[in-house]
Amino acid sequence: MIVAEQKSLEEIKKLVGNAKKVLVAGCGTCVTVCFAGGSREAAIVSAELRMSTKLAGDPKEVADVTVQRQCEWEYLDEIAEQVQGVDVVLSLGCGVGVQAIAEHFPNVWVVPGLNTKFMGLPTEQGVWAERCAACGDCILGLTGGICPIARCSKSLLNGPCGGSLDGHCEINAEVPCGWQLIYDRLKSMGKLEVLMEIQAPKNWRTSRDGGPRKIVREDLRLVSEEK
């Protein structure tokens, strides 16, 4: 899932600025399950905004709504009327959700209420950890299902480095060494020979280094008369 964290109320208030009518838009998918921007969080932020601006002598009209997925334009159609009637939309979606609203409603001012952090998973209740860096050329098949791009601080392909100490990374003793994890897993699976193959430098053009990415599936596209 995409994991995000809510911005502070102070920053949210600055982003909302002088707007009088605010719509807090939650998202029912990734940010709901990481407790950052679902319907409950949208209702809480709404109440906080209403109360804090009222106490500050600048009361705002704040409503909230949550769509199943902000990152698909089709889901945004159901809130079209509400977003058109406000001065600002405070999106509690990830960065994709914010941009989906901006693209779908060109005349609507939208600001982010979250900081989108990473793609990861919950490792225990209340803890999320990064697992995928979306490098665009998956090598998990070479590393026992543990990603050295996302989980090694240096994204090494032939690790570990000299900073690995007792299974931890030199950047922080609380961060497990990705390559130690890979080694341990391959050893437990009896597949250490996988590590004997030296990996060539990665082609980072499939990652962000190649600029904004896009996938086109001609077999799925609608022909012009179907659009």
Partner 1 sequence: MTQDALQIIAYCCEHCAYAAADLAGGLRIQYPPSVRVVMLPCTGKMDVLLALKAFEDGADGIMTAG
CB neighbourhood size of 218 (10 A): 5
Smallest gap from Cβ 170 to partner 1, in A, equals 40
Nearer to partner 1, 47 or 121 (CB): 47
Smallest gap from Cβ 55 to partner 1, in A, equals 11
**Sequence-ordered list of residues with C-beta below 8 angstroms from that of 104, at least 6 positions apart, any chain:** 73, 76
Nearer to partner 1, 50 or 168 (CB): 50
Nearer to partner 1, 61 or 170 (CB): 61
Nearer to partner 1, 44 or 156 (CB): 44
Smallest gap from Cβ 48 to partner 1, in A, equals 7
Residues in a beta bridge with 62: 22
Smallest gap from Cβ 44 to partner 1, in A, equals 6
Query: Do 178 and 147 touch, CB atoms closer than 8 A?
Result: yes
**144-183 mask for partner 1 (x: CB under 8 A)?**
----------------------------------------
* Secondary structure class of 174 (helix, strand, coil): strand
**Sheet of 127-132: strands edge to edge?**
2-6, 114-124, 127-132
Please, what's the b/e burial string for 40-50 (b: 16 or more CB within 10 A of its CB; e: otherwise)?
Answer: ebbbbbbeebb
Smallest gap from Cβ 20 to partner 1, in A, equals 18
**31-70 mask for partner 1 (x: CB under 8 A)?**
---------x--xx--xx-xx-------------------
User: What whole-number distance in Å separates Cα of residue 50 and Cα of residue 22?
Assistant: 10
Q: For residue 61, give both structure tokens.
A: 């009209």
Q: Count residues contacting partner 1 (CB under 8 A)?
A: 7
Measured in residues, the chain has a length of 227
Binding site for partner 1 (CB under 8 A): 40, 43-44, 47-48, 50-51
